[in-house]
Amino acid sequence: MKIIKVKDYDEMSKKACKLIVDKIKELNDPILGLATGSTPEGLYQQIIGKYKQGEVSFKNVTTFNLDEYVGLDGDHPNSYRYFMNDKLFKHIDISLDQTFVPNGIANDLKAECNDYEQLIQDVGGIDLQVLGLGTNGHIAFNEPGTSFDSRTSVVDLTQETLESNRRFFDSIEEVPTQALSMGIGSVIEAKEIILLVSGESKAKALSLAINGEITEDLPASILQQHDHVTIIADEAALSQVK
């Protein structure tokens, strides 16, 4: 694991942007794995800035998002498809049909998960996966206790995650209790992973992910076994790492 310690959220976003832009320039047809939530928002703003300055094009880029809420369609402002269009895709020159987010309103959710997984295999796998970290150590929506071998599937969200994500909804009752999520087994097949972590609320989970036992109770701890992980974390997030 390579750990890049930065001062704050802004610096985290800029460092991550540089790594991603460099990767896009390096590869002919880069496949990016993307996350939603508060953590990568600043990164997406930075990327838009680089695009507008003419430094990078997304014409040959394909993206796969980690997850989507069950029951929300892409027009719902809290769906992850909406988030991605709104925060990134509509501001850059990516073709929307090269952007993939699991369909949370598919008639057959299991088939949707299998197809999603297949699609990733068909394009040759993810070159660079961006991850955020849950306060309970989750990656994507793989909650503590999820098997390290898990594949893309319908998952139940824990109370802690519902409460964390409640800030985006009018009430906790409106937060979907299930999601479609890439599995841990799927995520760690990415050739390279960048984990972004900011803020003290993530400090405990991050310290366990870096120095703790590798255990399914702390999903992010599996990253210790991946050969090409870069953690970009700010001082607050790293405050419990010895």
CA distances in angstroms from 18 to 66, 133, 232, listed in the order given: 21, 20, 12
Measured from the CB of residue 141, what is the shortest distance to ligand F6R in angstroms? 6
For residues 115 and 151, the answer to whether their CB atoms sit within 8 Å is no
Residue 4 backbone phi and psi in degrees, to 5: -110, 115
Query: In terms of CB distance, is 30 or 134 closer to ligand F6R?
Result: 134
Task: Using the structure block, give the residue that is written with the tokens 């070159």.
Answer: 127
Interface residues with ligand F6R (CB under 6 A)? 35-39, 66-67, 132-134, 138-141
Measured from the CB of residue 213, what is the shortest distance to ligand F6R in angstroms? 21
Measured from the CB of residue 196, what is the shortest distance to ligand F6R in angstroms? 8
Our answer to whether residue 136 is catalytic in this structure is yes
Measured from the CB of residue 60, what is the shortest distance to ligand F6R in angstroms? 23
Query: In terms of CB distance, is 61 or 194 closer to ligand F6R?
Result: 194
Query: In terms of CB distance, is 167 or 242 closer to ligand F6R?
Result: 167
Contacts of 22 (CB under 8 A, 6+ apart): none
Closest chain position to ligand F6R (CB): 132
Among residues 103, 136, 142, 165, the one annotated as catalytic is 136
CA 83 – CA 123 distance, rounded (Å): 24
Our answer to whether residue 114 is catalytic in this structure is no
Our answer to whether residue 108 is catalytic in this structure is no
Query: In terms of CB distance, is 55 or 217 closer to ligand F6R?
Result: 217
Rg for the chain, CA atoms, rounded: 17
CA 29 – CA 205 distance, rounded (Å): 34
In DSSP notation, 120-184 reads: HHHTT--SEEEE---TTS-BTTB-TT--TT--SEEEEPPHHHHHHHGGGSSSGGGS-SEEEE--H
Tell me which residues are annotated as active site.
67, 136, 138, 143
